[in-house]
Amino acid sequence: MKKGCKTSREKGGAKKEGRTRNRLTPVRRPVSARSSTERVAGVGSGGRLVLRQDYVFIVAIATIVAVHAYPGYHSYPHLAQSTGHVDHYTYPAYKFDYAVHDPHTGDIKNQWESRDGDVVKGSYSLVEADGTLRTVDYTADKHNGFNAVVKKSGHAHHPQQATHYGHGVY
């Protein structure tokens, strides 16, 4: 701002020290088939800002067309509907078994299981650290729930730990 120019406004007045206050004054003209409505706004320097409503309308239409043409805004294409009923329910049935026998680590175990509808039957066994064999037979169904029978067979072996006294090799 220049020194000596004051921009405060007086009550009800639009001028102060030779300056005019910026004021927008819309001018409306009738719309005909050949001409479009213009809005004229006064600018502080006395210039005119002309906004033509037909350009605003064209920009709005172009935006709508562009948004509609963008494939990200479209829904997925409708799939052809079949006339018959297709049941996607598959009858639950499976069988599997596996076994591990690793004498290096001492990991010895096996398992099998089968399912027919809502009835599951199976068994697994493993050699425990004391040398006994633990076997679990199980069944599961809708009426009885899960039932397991655990059996332990064999004799437990507890190896004697060698104790060395003196400076011998351990």
Q: Where do the structural domains in the chain lie, given as residue ranges?
A: 21-72, 93-153
Tell me the Cα Rg of the chain.
Answer: 46
pLDDT above 90: residue 47: no
Instruction: Report residue 4 CA to chain centroid gap.
Output: 63
Confidence of residue 30 (pLDDT cuts 50, 70, 90): low
Confidence of residue 36 (pLDDT cuts 50, 70, 90): very low
Report d(CA 25, CA 38) in Å as an integer.
Answer: 12
pLDDT above 80: residue 151: yes
Report d(CA 157, CA 151) in Å as an integer.
Answer: 17
Residue-level pLDDT at 146? 97
Q: What is the mean pLDDT of residues 68-88?
A: 64
pLDDT above 80: residue 141: yes
pLDDT above 50: residue 68: yes
Report d(CA 131, CA 154) in Å as an integer.
Answer: 7
Q: What is the mean pLDDT of residues 119-128?
A: 96
Q: Look at domain 93-153 and name its CATH class.
A: alpha beta
Residue-level pLDDT at 162? 65
Q: Comparing 85 with 27, which gets the higher pLDDT?
A: 85
